[in-house]
Each structure stands twice: as C-alpha cells, then as structure tokens.
C-alpha cells in the first residue's frame, strides 16, 4: 500500500485533487471525516474535550454542541492547540484503523490522505510522499462562492496555525499550482498520477504501529 498525503490551505483544492486522484483509482481518506468520527461516543474524544473545555460544549441530550466548541476552541491559538492535542492522536488512530481495513481488502491500494495540517501535525513522516496544493489568492473567491461563513477572525487564526506557504513548498515532494482553472489542475494531476505509479510503499504498517495498537 502506498500512502500519499494531500495538503494545502483552506479552499485551495485538496478535496478536488483527492477526488481527481480517486477517479484514477486511488482510495481517499478524509481527515475532516475522521475528526468528526473522533467525537462520536465510541471514541474518548468527547470526554477529553469536556474535561478541558467544560460541560457547556454539550447539548442537553449529551451530544456535542459543535458551534459552542468552535467558539471556545478558536478563542486563541492556545485553545486551538489544546483542541488539536486531544484530537490529533485520535484522528491518527482512526486513520490507522481505516487504513488497516483497506489494506485487508486490497494490499496494493494507493491511499490518498486529505489532511489540512499535514506538516503541522507531524503526519507527513508516516507517509510515502506528500502533495501540497497551492492556490495563491484564488482560495478567497472559491471559499466565498461555496458559502463558507467562517468569520475573518477564525480564518486568520487558522492561517496562523498553518506553516507559511514557502515552508510547505520546501517540505512537500510534489507541488500542484491551483491558481488556474480545473482543466489545468486536472493536467497536473495526470502527471502526478503517472509519477505515483513508480512509487513503492515503504511506511505501511511500520510507521503507524503506535496507532495500530490500542
Ligand atoms: P479544500 O478541500 O482545500 O478546502 P476544495 O477542493 O473543497 O478545497 O475547493 C474549494 C472550492 O473551490 C470547491 O468549491 C471547489 O469545487 C472549487 N475549486 C477547486 N479548484 C478549483 C479550480 N481550479 N477552479 C475553480 N474552482 C475550483
């Protein structure tokens, strides 16, 4: 199994690239979906979050009030990092479980992990290769056109949390420029996919061992 991490800023086109790779035969694992799962009752995330952020993050029925947690976690960089320190290990664990399930189905899988904070979370070292999607100022228009109502204050905080673009460019193996149209992006994904064909997986399962053992 080959593991490929796709990252980039908000609205830069990570999911679009992942979907294009899926059309070519890749299997996609979305970190945002794993983060949602981490807050389901079967995992210990919700309990840990209540311990840190207080019971006001719960609705009367005991389920998570996402809006309230969002407000508290984005109060400062410190609270955002606190939330990440609870969620990231759990998200990695869920990813490891999903990858193991996938490996049993098809050990030749090309797995694309769509991860917003790939380098910042340290997940990059557990992958065979990394792709950074860059879109310059185009993200603004795209995010607005998809009706993303994130306040500027929160957007600013999330940008603060991300590595500077220049550093991500240095650290990634492949860079996709998504400042142009979708066809231009597709052509770059075609080239990327051909390059990936020659890649042999070497990190699975060893690099995930600590997340595979409960
Ligand atoms: P991310 O996953 O990085 O947040 P998305 O892939 O969801 O970003 O892209 C954000 C929005 O921009 C989506 O509505 C997507 O369809 C659109 N989009 C992505 N790339 C392009 C492009 N090259 N041209 C036009 N729209 C694009």
Burial classification of residue 165, based on how many CB atoms lie within 10 Å of its CB (0-12 exposed, 13-18 middle, 19 or more buried): middle
pLDDT value at 18 more than 90? yes
Sign of the CA dihedral with 62 first, then 64, 65, and 69 last: positive
What's the order of all strands across the beta sheet hosting 129-134? 27-30, 110-114, 2-8, 129-134, 174-177
Q: Which atom of ligand 1 is nearest to the CA of 17?
A: 6
Question: Which residue, 94, 91, 150, 123, is CA-closest to 4?
Answer: 123
Check residue 143 and give its pLDDT: 67
Interval between CA 15 and ligand 1 midpoint (Å): 7
d(CA 171, CA 185): 21
- Compute, in angstroms, the gap from residue 50 CA to the centroid of ligand 1: 34
Closest ligand 1 atom, CA of 18? Answer: 6
Q: Specify the pTM.
A: 0.93
Q: At 204, is the pLDDT very low, low, confident or very high (cuts 50, 70, 90)?
A: very high
Residue 210 pLDDT > 80:
yes
The answer to whether the bond into 205 is cis (omega within 30° of 0) is yes
- 10, 143 contact by CB (below 8 A): yes
Structure tokens given for 27: 């299997």
What is the structure's pLDDT at 155? 81
pLDDT band at 137 (very low <50, low <70, confident <90, very high): confident
Q: What pLDDT is recorded for position 213?
A: 85
Q: Is the pLDDT of residue 138 over 80?
A: no
Categorize the per-residue pLDDT at 119 as very low, low, confident or very high, splitting at 50, 70 and 90: very high
pLDDT (tens digit per residue) in 142-188: 666 666 667 788 888 888 889 998 999 999 999 999 999 999 999 99
List the residue whose alpha carbon is closest to atom 20 of ligand 1.
Answer: 13
Q: Quick check: 187 and 176 in contact, CB under 8 A?
A: no
């Amino acid at each position: 199994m080959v593991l490929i991490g796709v990252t980039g800023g908000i609205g830069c086109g990570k999911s679009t690239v992942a979907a294009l790779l899926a059309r070519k035969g890749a299997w996609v694992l979305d970190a945002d979906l794993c983060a949602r799962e981490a807050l389901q009752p079967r995992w210990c995330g919700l309990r840990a979050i209540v311990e840190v952020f207080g019971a006001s993050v719960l609705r009367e029925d005991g389920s998570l009030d996402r809006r309230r947690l969002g407000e508290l976690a984005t109060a400062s960089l410190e609270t955002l990092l606190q939330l990440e320190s609870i969620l990231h290990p759990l998200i990695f664990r869920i990813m490891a479980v999903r990858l193991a399930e996938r490996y049993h189905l098809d050990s030749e899988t090309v797995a694309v992990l769509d991860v917003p904070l790939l380098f910042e979370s340290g997940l990059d070292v557990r992958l065979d290769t990394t792709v950074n999607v860059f879109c310059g100022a185009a993200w603004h228009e795209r995010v607005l056109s998809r009706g993303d109502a994130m306040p500027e204050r929160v957007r600013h905080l999330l940008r603060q949390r991300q590595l500077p673009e220049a550093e991500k460019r240095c650290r990634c193996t492949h860079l996709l420029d998504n400042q142009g149209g979708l066809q231009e992006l597709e052509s770059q994904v075609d080239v990327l996919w051909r390059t990936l064909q020659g890649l042999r997986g070497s990190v699975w399962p060893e690099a995930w061992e600590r997340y595979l053992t409960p």
